[in-house]
Amino acid sequence: MYYLQPFANWFLVVTIISLASELVLLKYLHHKQYLFAFRAGILATLLVFFQSILAYIILIFVARELQVYSMIIVVVFLITAIVFALALIFSGAGEKPWLKTAGIFMLILYVVFGVALAWGTIPPGFLTAGTLQKIEQWVSLAGSIIPLFFIMDFVSELKFPSVTAEEPHRHGLKEQVSIGALIITVVVVITLGVKITRDSYWALDWNKKGPARAQELARAFERRIHVNGQGDTLRYLLMRPLDYDSSARYPLVVCLHGGPVPKRNRELQVEVPEPAPILSEYKNRKEFPAFIFVPQGPPGFTWGGIPHLPAVDSLVFETIDELENEFTIDVKRRYVAGGSMGGYGAWYFIGTRPEMFAAAIPFCGAGNIDLAQNMVDIPIWAFHGDVDRNVAVSGSRKMIEAIKKAGGDPRYTEFADVGHNVWPSIIETPGVLDWLFAQKRK
């Protein structure tokens, strides 16, 4: 959900509301002279403020390298929040039943999450990332109850004046502004919430139906396995050209799927990434006869180009060699295309093996600008959405700029108001497949 398009704005609005409510609470604690709780609350609020700013920067700029600082703030916040909870229980604030209840609830909640965080991140790490994420979600959900305790405390403090028909209550300017702000807030939150709900529904629907759809698409392909001399295995899908003629030579299109692939049974799961589905359509097989090669990445591996993650690019190249020994493939017309992790892979393939490919279509990916010199002579048409929350658009921009500086002439199309799901926009771009199959190495 974090990478859905409306989430960043929704997060900003909800954070502002949360901080405003924290300021009301702090003012109340100061007014009641609960100074220990007040000081601990100030520190906790400041940490939430800094954490929110950092999270928003990570969301907008996809700056995941900053997440290590986010974790540091979370740990310090947990310690501070526990101190704040203890202050609500054992200081003067504990004389108020609802404040004491809030403190007890917060103490239990933050201690549970702190222990889970320690078990999940400190070696040997007894909790898996998935389990820790679930605990975090439940703690976050339970945490939404905390404001109710403070609301009940405020209600217990209120003295309601009697209002007669002769003396109707008139809202002053301050109250009118507050009511207006409340109405605007509700409208904005609901509007953004509806957008997130809609996008979440489609994402969940895709996750539910995606594997079944992939299995359906895979039926048109041959399922194969490459095993090298060391016993390393690469599963892959292959589609031969329509009316294959062994006396003719055909292009080879390498289609790299996104990921990274979760640890699951790869014999049962299959990925059929774009452009493989559209190339497998009858009209395109007729117009652009080619071998369509779809490697299936092993769990936990990438195609290359992503720091600190192992790659299986060598297995892919070995399989290509194997296919060229078996079939009549035109070695001057090898193409590579891929999005997301496959986009990283496409950039990496042409950067490390430039002599191998005649053209590349990397989309919503990124690469190593130090390899730009190797890509100067390769026809490239890259694509990216300008509001991509998964892979920052700067990844494609930097690669294109670096190749141009090195003397190349790559094509680049950037779609306005498009996120990570960029393929529908690509296929609506006239001439993409014509351009791809027109390329040939000299």
406 torsion bin: left (phi>0), alpha (psi -120 to 50), beta (else): alpha
Beta strand 222-227 with 250-256 is: unpaired
Nearest Cα residue to 223 out of 271, 164, 184, 264: 271
pLDDT at 167: 56
Which neighbouring-strand residues pair with 295?
Answer: 236
Q: Mean pLDDT of successive 10-residue segments in the chain (442 residues)?
A: 79 90 94 95 94 89 82 92 96 94 96 88 74 86 93 87 58 82 89 85 74 87 94 95 95 91 58 94 97 93 90 96 97 97 97 97 97 97 93 95 98 94 94 97 89
Beta strand 222-227 with 233-239 is: antiparallel
pLDDT at 437: 98
pLDDT at 208: 75
Whole-number Å distance between alpha carbons of 359 and 364: 17
> Rounded to the nearest 5°, which phi and psi values hold at 381?
-130, 105
pLDDT at 50: 93
| CATH 1.10.3720.10 for the 220-438 domain, yes or no | no
Contacts of residue 82, defined as CB under 8 A and 6 or more positions apart, other chains included, come to 106, 107, 110, 111, 114
Whole-number Å distance between alpha carbons of 425 and 414: 10
Long-range contacts made by residues 86-89, C-beta under 8 angstroms, separation at least 24? 87/34, 87/36, 87/37, 87/40, 87/41, 88/37
| Cα diameter, the chain | 101
pLDDT at 162: 58
Contacts of residue 185, defined as CB under 8 A and 6 or more positions apart, other chains included, come to 13, 17
Whole-number Å distance between alpha carbons of 38 and 85: 11
In the three-class reduction of DSSP (H, G, I as helix; E, B as strand; rest coil), residue 414 is classed as strand
pLDDT at 65: 79
Contacts of residue 169, defined as CB under 8 A and 6 or more positions apart, other chains included, come to 161, 163
Amino acid at 33: Q
pLDDT at 252: 98
pLDDT at 263: 53
Q: What's the predicted TM-score (pTM) here?
A: 0.76
pLDDT at 161: 61
pLDDT at 303: 96
In the three-class reduction of DSSP (H, G, I as helix; E, B as strand; rest coil), residue 179 is classed as helix
